[in-house]
Homo-oligomer: A and B are copies of this chain.
Amino acid sequence: MLYPNNIKKSYSKQNISHGNRGMDLESELNITNNYYKEKDLALIYKKPTPIGIVDVSYKNQKKIIEKAYFKEQSTLDYNGIYKGKYIDFDAKVTKNKTAFPLANIHKHQTEHIRGVIRHKGIAFLIIRMNNITYFLKGEDYLFYIDNNIRKSIDYNYIKEKGYVIKESYLPPLDYLKIVDEIYFKENEYE
């Protein structure tokens, strides 16, 4: 299993890029979500990417996709349940060092974040930028969107409002610790 070695490497050389570690944000989140499931802490899954099917064939009565294209998710990629609360989030990586380009998040996804919060769910973004993984509350994301006409979120805003998700061996990205801090400990949420 290569994973532990890769992780050690990333600890010993702090400025190593996440790409070189052999694990991307999606894999780290999948391992984290599996960990949560195994420990019975939460049930959170990545939704499959929707596809548009162009052509199919049948083999032994099984449908085989012969041509298809990827469609845009109209919601966020991850959702589930934690401590009785509905959780919904997306995870994005940018190589941009000074600003997070808003082209990464589609308009219907922004409206989805707004809807989840209105229906008393927990919505947030996980943004990896400058090799740091930030947890940005949906509320703080919407505040920026609603009060700025810029096409990107300034890195300073993410640094100021975002919570750093500590990276570890297992789970690789314990983002529910931040959920606990923000929505459960402070009782802001109830």
**Interface of A with B (CB < 8 Å)?**
37, 40, 42-43, 45, 47-51, 62-70, 74-75, 79-86, 88, 112, 115-116, 118-121
Give, as a whole number of angstroms, the nearest-CB distance from A74 to chain B.
Answer: 8
Give, as a whole number of angstroms, the nearest-CB distance from A121 to chain B.
Answer: 5
Is B85 a contact partner of A43 (Cβ separation < 8 A)?
no
Secondary structure call for the A interface: strand
Is B47 a contact partner of A81 (Cβ separation < 8 A)?
no
Known: A67-B64, A67-B65. A83 touches B120 (CB 8 A): yes
Is A84 a contact partner of B119 (Cβ separation < 8 A)?
yes
Is B121 a contact partner of A84 (Cβ separation < 8 A)?
yes
Residues in chain B near residue A50, CB distance under 8 A: 48
Residues in chain B near residue A51, CB distance under 8 A: 48, 51, 65, 68
Residues in chain B near residue A121, CB distance under 8 A: 43, 81, 84, 86
Known: A40-B115, A48-B51, A118-B40. A69 touches B79 (CB 8 A): no
Bound CA span A114–B146, Å: 40
Residue of B48, B75, B86 near A84 (CB, 8 A) is B86
Known: A81-B119, A119-B84, A121-B84. A112 touches B43 (CB 8 A): yes
